Amino acid sequence: MSTAPFDIRRATENEQWRLLELLGEAHLPTQGLEDPQTHLWIAEREGTIAAMAGLERYDEVALLRSVATHGPFRGQGAATALCLVLLAHARADGVRRVYLLTETAEGFFRRLGFEPTDRESLDSRLSASAELQGKVCASALPMVRKLS
């Protein structure tokens, strides 16, 4: 496996099927990915998708979602690099707080500067998110990172 850096970019519509497949492998929800406020990004190496992440924007708050790494690329920094680029783009675009829900990756997201919060502290604008409306994430830990 190559140790070349990852290319990070917005996903294209033609890549949607592969991203849905990757989310299935990771047992992550797919509802709401087609919503216009959700932008999917990928990290790739040599034309192969290594990791993906989505950002749902609601004014100056956003929901980081669907962070998944393709098996052969785990532990190589693809998801970290992708999330850092995504957060930098969000900050430059006026996002002030980013929230997420996780059941298995609290340590990973803590290393990216996220802190646990309670559900009552979630910004009310996020209630429009299909991910937050689903029962799949009902037991997930909410986390937040301030970007400003």
Extract the residue ranges of the chain whose pLDDT is less than 50.
1
Residue 35 has a pLDDT of 86
Domain hosting 108: range is 7-146
Residues 6+ apart with CB under 8 A from 104: none
* Residue 12, domain member (yes or no): yes
First to last CA, the chain: 37
Q: Which two tokens stand for residue 73?
A: 């690329």
Residue 1 inside a domain? The answer is no
pLDDT of residue 3: 54
Q: Is residue 82 part of a domain?
A: yes
Q: Give me the number of domains the chain comprises.
A: 1
The reply to whether 65 falls in a domain is yes
> What is the per-residue pLDDT across 27-39, written as a single tens digit (0 to 9) for each?
888 888 888 889 9
pLDDT > 70 fraction of the chain, expressed in percent and rounded: 95
